[in-house]
Amino acid sequence: MAGLQAARRAWTRACRCPAVGIAGVGMAGIGLASCSGGVLDPLGPVGRDDATLLIDATVVMLAIVVPTIMLAFWIAWRYRASNPKAEYLPYWSYSGRIEAVVWSIPVLTIMFIGGLIWIGSYRLDPFKPLPSKAPPLEVQVVSLDWKWLFIYPQQGVATVNRLVVPAGTPVHFSITSASVFNAFFVPRLGSMVYAMPGMVSQVSLEADRPGTTYGQSAHFSGDGFSDMHFQVQSVPASEFAAWVRSAKGGGPVLDRKAYAELARQSQNVKPYSYSAVDAELFGAVAMQQIPPAPGPEPGNPSHAGREVGTGGHD
């Protein structure tokens, strides 16, 4: 693994220095992307470990892929019909030794990758809690048509389309959907997980320093999907407490009635917060004690579009 570490360090360096970053096409791609706030520019440990694995797997494969591509072009050029120096072997079509090599190169590569997959899948299972002395912050996530509801059960507040987390504390997300599938994804924090109706999935993420970024839905969910992005603010612990206080200080209350209104389809919802939350709400949504969100309704203007008849069961 030492070689790998070195390669990775070289990689990181290459990405900091644009001139080297452009050296290889694949490298340039990853390099450029990692310099600018994407999944290769992580804000916390989960994103960092995911990204490391992505890069490790790429390096392992590039070690085979680059020579193979070069071999292909070299042989095609060396044995071009117009090259009189190349020997013509019209009947040569089998060599046990080459066959053995030809099978073993991919097998060995994939065994190596298989190891990465095995170790990585266990270590970075999204459902696994993060090791930490501080108890994790609980956040309940509900995907709605077409916005995100974040409930802070320990604090008793909730937000729409804004996620505020304390830096350096693991956050345990419980995720469900009130309508269709979505995926909860903050690129710079790492691992995405589906939000699914009638089920609760989990992911633990952490931002280890303050910063501002965005999250979004990574699974298409209908007409308002493109606006299902939300602000993510990682703030120092003291600031987080202040934020909770201010959220409690004013704003609407999220009871069943407010939720029913929220669950109706709407697009491009500006972030806001609720000063108090029905403590049973998340469970009731996840267990579908509250029926699934209504979907398109004839009288709801946020669902504009060419709709022909409403079909259904007749």
Partner 1 sequence: MFGKLAWSAIPFGQPIPLITSLVVILVVLGVLGLVTVKGWWTYLWREWVTSVDHKRIGIMYVLLGVVMLIRGFADAIMMRTQQAIAIGGAPGYLEPEHYNQIFSAHGTIMIFFAAMPLVIGFMNFLVPLQLGVRDVAFPTLNSVSFWLTASGALLVNVSLFVGEFARTGWLPYPPLSEVGYSPGVGVDYYLWAVQISGVGTLMTGINFVTTVLKLRCPGMSYLRMPMFTWTAFAASLLIVAVFPILTATLAMLTLDRYVGWHFFTNDAGGNPMMFMNLIWAWGHPEVYILVLPAFGIFSEIFSTFSGKPLFGYRSMVAATLFICIVAMMTWLHHFFTMGAGAAVNTAFGISTSVIAVGTGVKIYNWIFTMYGGRVRLSVPMLWSLGFIFTFIIGGMTGVMLAVPPADFLVHNSMFLVAHFHNVIIGGVVFALFAGLEFWFPKAFGFRLHEGWGRCAFWCAFVGFWVTFAPLYIVGLMGMTRRLQHVVVPDWAPWLYASVVGVAILALGAVAQVIQLVVSIRDREKLRDTTGDPWDGRSLEWATPSPPPFFNFAVMPNVEGEEAYWGIKLRAVETQQLSPEPNYQPIEMPVNSPVGFYTAFFATVFGFAMIWYIWWLAIVALIAAFAGFVVFAWRDVHEFEVPADEVARVDRARRAAREATLAQMAEEGGLP
Q: Is residue 270 part of the contact set for partner 1 (CB under 8 A)?
A: no
- Residue 222 near partner 1 by CB under 8 A: yes
Residues, the chain: 314
If one asks whether residue 122 binds partner 1 (CB under 8 A), the answer comes out as: yes
Verify binding: residue 250, partner 1, rule CB under 8 A.
Answer: no
Smallest distance from the beta carbon of 34 to partner 1, in angstroms?
7
Residue 219 near partner 1 by CB under 8 A: yes
Residue 295 contacts partner 1 per CB under 8 A: yes
Task: Report the C-alpha gap between 196 and 208 in whole angstroms.
Answer: 28
Residue closer to partner 1 (CB basis): 87 or 261: 87
31 CB-contact burial (10 Å; exposed 0-12 / middle 13-18 / buried 19+): buried
Q: How far is the CB of 3 from partner 1 (least distance, A)?
A: 19
Choose which of 13, 127, 256, 272 interacts with partner 1 (CB under 8 A): 127
Q: Which one, of 235, 241, 215, lies nearest residue 167 by Cα? A: 235
Q: Which residues contact 20 (CB under 8 A, 6 or more apart)?
A: 13, 14, 31
Pick 73 or 272: Cβ nearer partner 1: 73
DSSP string for 106-148: HHHHHHHHHHHHHHHHHHT-TTSPPP-SSPPEEEEEEEETTEE
Check binding of 276 to partner 1 (CB under 8 A). no
Contact stretch for partner 1 (CB under 8 A) within 14-22, 159-167, 199-207, 239-247: 199-207
Q: Return the structure tokens found at 183.
A: 């995926």
Among 21, 44, 120, 170, contact with partner 1 (rule: CB under 8 A): 120
Nearest of 182, 215, 218, 217 to residue 197 by alpha carbon: 182
- What b/e sequence results for 253-288 when a residue is b if at least 16 CB atoms lie within 10 Å of its CB, and e otherwise? ebeeebbeebbbbbbebeeebbbebbeebbbebbee
Question: Which residues in 136-195 contact partner 1 (CB under 8 A)?
Answer: 179-181, 183, 185, 187-188, 190-194
- Residue 57 within binding range of partner 1, rule CB under 8 A: yes
Q: How far is the CB of 8 from partner 1 (least distance, A)?
A: 14
Q: Which is nearer to partner 1, 155 or 179 (CB)?
A: 179
Binding to partner 1 by residue 97, rule CB under 8 A? no
Shortest distance (Å) from residue 52 CB to partner 1: 9
All residues at 6 or more sequence positions from 71 whose CB lies less than 8 Å from its CB, including other chains: none
